[in-house]
Amino acid sequence: MNYLKMIKQKEAKRLALIHDGIPYTYGELVEKAVKLSQDDTVFPENFKKEADKKQIHIIQRKEILDQLLEFLSCSERKLIPMIVPKEITISLKQLENINIPENACMAVMTSGTCGEPKILFRTYESWADFFPVQNEIFGIKETSRLFVQGSLAFTGNLNLYLAQFFAGAVIIAENTFSPKKWLDRIEQKQADSIYLIPSKLFCLLQVLEKKGEKNKDNIKIIVTGSQGFSGEDAKRLKQYFSQAELLYYYGASELNYLTYIKDKDMTWEKNLVGKPFPGVTVFVKNGEIFIDTLYHAEGISCPCTISDKGYLDRNGNLYFCGRSDDILEIHGCKISAVFIENALEQIEEIEEAVVMVLIEKEQQVLTAFVSLKEEMLREFLYWQSKKLTDQYKMIDMITQGYFLGEVKRNKVFQKLKNKLKSYEIPDKLIVVREMPRNDSGKIEKKKLKQEWNRQFSSCWD
């Protein structure tokens, strides 16, 4: 079984996808995918063909529709599709010696915040057999109209597209990053559910706040994940989507959806990720999260760990405390970057925070990069332009950014004293206009650190 066969089983005249405002039925998707599979310019012989040997086909299209059609058409050519961000270069020689599992129907490339990307293979069943479970939790049914934005190289997007098609439902997709256009499309095409990562939801929220529009009663479900999300964030959204149930999930590309929590159970703690999905077992050993599930990538033996840290409370709720490399050591003390980031993000002025240890003048410096909420950023930039001194230099980091002024910084530190131990309070706060992100919307901590080291380590020499 494969995903093109799955779509072929749906009623041909039934609406499947609205891509940048243009509708496509299930029959039209099948027709276009089959026609594309016959195009030898799209599917050249990339390397020597060996009898019965499976091959990976790399997809690096810009448009979501093109990504989807090429993904589906691979099954007609008996190729293993892998959608990859355009900026990633993969040598075909790298693919020649990869052992592709016999039952694999697709490959995905992980793109975590740290470390090198890796290729994972999945069978049809490893996702599709779990679709009834996740669709029940996410409220996806045959009549659903789910709005999604962004590349299918992000496995969260690809999974939910295929889960919608499994249900015979409709995807409303947008290529461009334009929250105002998203809102217009949601209203025009009568979306009843939304899937966006938190940072994109907050962009949508800013548009709604500016327009002063509330009570978007047509939205019944909002699904989000991959970034921290709290009960306070849910309350902000429910001011505008009053009839929506908000659902946050925790998952992993190597495995599947693992835990979830609904808005009524959320607290101020952004690292509370809820209870396991049906059929998934979660336990914690020596501070490390272990998972037992049937729905995982090939080559993984469960129970297993993906090096995430966390703990379970007495009610069985899981708290995510970051990956192994989020546990920092400074001056002989071990601290959780995620815990400090959550404390910073509870401060009214701060939108997002990234904490890491930098080396300055051969000394360890616990550093927090922060982005500010829009109104606070405008105020901050105004006052900094008035009071710039040699000590607080203007810097140009990824996009423009500035050091946080001494008075404001002291206020922030004062607020942190009630939440953190003295050695957990950052030595330095650096404001950036926005955080660098990968295709999945996750903050690229490695890039942030590299840019700082490359461009600005001389600021304090």
Residue 305 to residue 291: CA distance in whole angstroms: 6
Cα separation, 223 vs 246, whole angstroms: 6
Half-sphere exposure of 362 (CA within 13 A, CB side): 0
Using CA atoms, how far apart are residues 306 and 300, in angstroms rounded to an integer? 10
Residue 14 and residue 83 in contact, taking contact as beta carbons nearer than 8 Å: no
Q: State the Cα angle at 352 between 347 and 353, rounded to 5°.
A: 90
- Whether the Cβ atoms of residue 2 and residue 76 lie closer than 8 Å to each other: no
Per-residue pLDDT, 398: 31
Whether 123 contacts 100, CB under 8 Å: no
What's the rounded Cα separation, in Å, for the pair 107 and 434? 31
Q: Rounded to the nearest 10 degrees, what angle do helices 131-138 and 155-167 cross at?
A: 90
Question: 226: which 2 tokens?
Answer: 């991959």
Q: pLDDT digit string (tens) for 16-64? A: 999 999 999 999 999 999 999 998 888 875 444 554 678 899 999 999 9
Dist CA 432 CA 455 (whole Å): 14
pLDDT tens figures, 267-296: 988 889 999 999 999 999 998 999 999 999
Chain centre to alpha carbon of residue 155: 9
Q: For the chain, how far is it from start to end, CA to CA, in angstroms?
A: 61
Antiparallel, parallel or unpaired: β 245-251 and 221-225: parallel
* Model pLDDT for residues 231-254, shown as the tens digit of each residue: 988 998 998 998 999 999 999 889
CA distances from 163 to 155, 156, 198, 364 (A): 12, 11, 21, 47
Q: Which two tokens stand for residue 132?
A: 């009834």
Low-confidence ranges of the chain (pLDDT < 70): 45-52, 91-94, 111-117, 214-215, 331, 374-411, 439-441, 454-461
Contacts of 9 (CB under 8 A, 6+ apart): none
d(CA 385, CA 378): 11
Residue 263's H or E segment, with its range, is none
- Dihedral sign of CA atoms 85, 89, 92, 96 in order: negative
320 vs 461: CA distance, rounded Å: 38
Cβ distance 260 to 236 under 8 Å? no
The CA-atom distances, in angstroms, between 3 and each of 44, 57, 148, 449 are 22, 16, 19, 40
| The model's pTM | 0.79
Q: How many CB atoms lie within 10 A of CB 108?
A: 24
Q: Are strands 394-397 and 22-25 parallel, antiparallel or unpaired?
A: unpaired
Residues, the chain, total?
461
Q: Which helix (H) or strand (E) holds 246?
A: strand 245-251
Question: Using CA atoms, how far apart are residues 86 and 178, in angstroms rounded to an integer?
Answer: 20
